[in-house]
Chain A
Amino acid sequence: MSIAEPAVVAERQSRTLARFAKPALGLLLPVCLAAVWELLVYWGTVGPPQTLVTLWTYATLALHKLGILSSAQIPLSLPDGRLLPPPSRIWATLVELAAAGELQRHVAVTVGRVAAGFAFGVAAGTLAGAITGYSPLLRRLLDPTLQALRSIPSIAWVPLFILWLGIFESSKITLISVGVFFPVYLGVMGAVVSVDRKIVEVGRVFRLSGTQMVRRILLPAVLPAYVIALRSGLGLGWMFVVAAELLGASEGLGYLLVDGQQLGKPAQIVAAIVVFAVIGKTTDWLLSLAAAPFLRWEDRYGARS
């Protein structure tokens, strides 16, 4: 049995701390903003504390003396949080929706749509990107058309998709797939085209067959760019699911947005937005987490801690 040196223990502790402290750094800004907003709305409803009022009076007076404000009598008005509800009210809305089982249902529907659209979009984008990257002939044949289609704002497809596919799931999933397709297609094609010729030559020297070349050289070489393409594809998937659900849905987080607007429930809108942010960030994180073991070899600037 060995007794760890105090210095070693201290280092291990600081490393554990660093592991949790670094992601926590990213939470600092949103948490601070939420806290300030909460406090302002709280004071706005129960009345501000005397010190704040005094401070305000002195501040306006000073600004008036400096000639910045024309009048020294500006009353302190604080937000009541009706149009931008404070975090506590958003949280209460979320709890309420969750208790009724509504939240889970809407989240499940939206996640299902994104998953299906993402799957189709990634499959098509990967295939198209791989063949156009691999074959110059197919690239000349297909790429201009695909680039032209890409420059169409994807929302423009919505009326057509609804005519073709109806107002239910198929048109929504198709729209999401279209959104996911283009970044994946571009990423894969760009990655395949820019695989280092020198590395491919190593494969040729070892007389790899076509499939061996793909499996042992091309796939690992394009993997980093592919992961980035998947992540931007997923981001667009979340964007397009909102578009699809805003334009006629009876379920889903996008429906919560429309419902909140029509019934004048800003807390519900912000709650849905927050859920989007949380799920979007989580799925992106899961994707990069899943890819990380395959990319440990990378020699990246961003890898330094």
Chain B
Amino acid sequence: MTLNINRVSKTYANQVRALDGISLNVEPGEIVAVVGGSGCGKSTLLRLVSGLDNPSQGAVALDGDAIVSPHPKIGIVFQEPRLLPWLSVADNVGFGLAERPRAERNERVAHQLERVGLSDKAKVWPRELSGGQAQRVAIARALIMRPEVLLMDEPFSALDAFTRVDLQDHLLDLWADTKPTLVIVTHDVDEAIVLADRVIVMRPQPGRVFAEIEIDLPRPRDRQSAAYDFAKRRVMAALDRSLDRKVTTDDGETKSDTGAAMWW
């Protein structure tokens, strides 16, 4: 299932132009990371693809099927776990399977919880989970629906560095089960390079695609290797260039946006 983003623009009601003519094709099973400075419309893009918001111009389509509202084949994991506090962990994971027979639901929930390593937490309330555990439950809740496209909006940004690295590896492991298309928005360059086949660098005000960088490294990727370092430097350079220059805003005035090292 090819995800097709065709010249999509988004202007909010307060006249803020968040995205301007974004085009992007994502092949089935591909992992794409979207990076860029804050306010470059990364999250907006993800919301448009998920169908939670609609573009002002252009269209998003999954195999030619225009997406105007949340689609059964597209799952999303937000920056916060967004678990329902009144449901146990198991019921949260099985939230989308309410229509299925109980036996099937229980079996799939048990399997999915095992895959994220939280079988022993099935009965507890979300409040009793750590940040990393809660985010794993959120990932399980999305994956149990067997999405063809999984969108992730800075899913690990609220976690500490160790947990984050763990979960990145864990995510690749989960991805290998069914190989869904993965679009992951991040401001962590390391995360982008560890995970993605392709990194999209966006530039802000309004959000546009600035560069596309193929990451042609074999998996699992060694975070210490020279090739990894090289890829990282390329992405960092593109990010810096996306910001460290005069940016022309819509009403024609130019505004110097220095502070390359402060791109996040």
A86 to chain B, nearest CB (A): 49
Main SS class of interface, B: loop
Distance, CA A298 to CA B78, complexed state (A): 22
A202 interface hit (Cβ, 8 Å): yes
The 8 tightest CB contacts between A and B, nearest first, are A299-B127, A220-B86, A297-B86, A206-B96, A297-B125, A205-B70, A202-B82, A207-B70
A204 interface hit (Cβ, 8 Å): yes
Q: Which residues of A contact B82 (CB under 8 A)?
A: 198-199, 201-202
Distance, CA A205 to CA B80, complexed state (A): 15
Distance, CA A220 to CA B96, complexed state (A): 17
Please determine whether B52 and A204 come into contact, CB atoms closer than 8 angstroms. yes
Residue pairs across A and B with CB atoms within 8 Å: the count is 44
Which of A204, A205, A217 is most buried by chain B, counting CB atoms within 10 A of its CB?
A: A205
Distance, CA A184 to CA B98, complexed state (A): 31
How does the 8 Å CB contact mask read for B199-243 relative to A, with 1 for contact and 0 for none?
000000000000000000000000000000000000000000000
B72 interface hit (Cβ, 8 Å): yes
Q: Which residues of B contact A298 (CB under 8 A)?
A: 85
- The tally of residues in B whose CB lies under 8 Å from a CB in A reads 21
Distance, CA A223 to CA B127, complexed state (A): 17
| Sample (20) of A-B pairs whose CB atoms are under 8 Å apart | A198-B78, A198-B80, A199-B82, A201-B78, A201-B82, A202-B84, A202-B95, A204-B52, A204-B70, A205-B52, A206-B95, A207-B69, A207-B70, A207-B72, A217-B84, A221-B86, A296-B125, A297-B126, A298-B85, A299-B85
How does the 8 Å CB contact mask read for A207-225 relative to B, with 1 for contact and 0 for none?
1000000001100110100
Considering only residues 165-218 of chain A, those with a C-beta below 8 Å from chain B are 198-199, 201-202, 204-207, 216-217
Distance, CA A221 to CA B83, complexed state (A): 12
Please determine whether B76 and A205 come into contact, CB atoms closer than 8 angstroms. yes
Please determine whether A201 and B52 come into contact, CB atoms closer than 8 angstroms. yes
Considering only residues 84-99 of chain B, those with a C-beta below 8 Å from chain A are 84-87, 95-96, 98
Q: Which residues of A contact B96 (CB under 8 A)?
A: 206
Q: Which residues of B contact A204 (CB under 8 A)?
A: 52, 69-70
Please determine whether B50 and A205 come into contact, CB atoms closer than 8 angstroms. yes
Main SS class of interface, A: helix
Distance, CA A297 to CA B78, complexed state (A): 22
How does the 8 Å CB contact mask read for B33-71 relative to A, with 1 for contact and 0 for none?
000000000000000001010000000000000000110
Distance, CA A220 to CA B50, complexed state (A): 25
A197 to chain B, nearest CB (A): 10
Determine the residue in chain B with the shortest Cβ distance to A204.
B70
Q: Which residues of A contact B127 (CB under 8 A)?
A: 297, 299
Distance, CA A65 to CA B85, complexed state (A): 67
A202 to chain B, nearest CB (A): 5
Q: Which residues of B contact A199 (CB under 8 A)?
A: 82, 84
Q: Which residues of B contact A202 (CB under 8 A)?
A: 82, 84, 95
Q: Which residues of A contact B72 (CB under 8 A)?
A: 207
Q: Which residues of A contact B70 (CB under 8 A)?
A: 204-207
Distance, CA A298 to CA B127, complexed state (A): 8
Q: Which residues of A contact B69 (CB under 8 A)?
A: 204, 207
Q: Which residues of A contact B50 (CB under 8 A)?
A: 205
Q: Which residues of A contact B76 (CB under 8 A)?
A: 205
Distance, CA A27 to CA B145, complexed state (A): 54
Distance, CA A221 to CA B87, complexed state (A): 11
Given contacts A207-B72, A298-B85, 9 further A-B contacts (CB under 8 A): A198-B78, A202-B82, A204-B52, A206-B96, A216-B95, A217-B84, A297-B86, A297-B125, A299-B125
Please determine whether B85 and A297 come into contact, CB atoms closer than 8 angstroms. yes
Determine the residue in chain B with the shortest Cβ distance to A217.
B84
Distance, CA A60 to CA B110, complexed state (A): 79
Distance, CA A58 to CA B55, complexed state (A): 89
B177 to chain A, nearest CB (A): 21
Which of B50, B80, B85 is most buried by chain A, counting CB atoms within 10 A of its CB?
A: B85
Q: Which residues of B contact A299 (CB under 8 A)?
A: 85, 125, 127
Distance, CA A160 to CA B248, complexed state (A): 69
Determine the residue in chain A with the shortest Cβ distance to B128.
A299
Distance, CA A204 to CA B74, complexed state (A): 12
Q: Contacts A204-B70, A205-B50, A297-B86 known; A216 to B80 CB distance under 8 Å? A: no
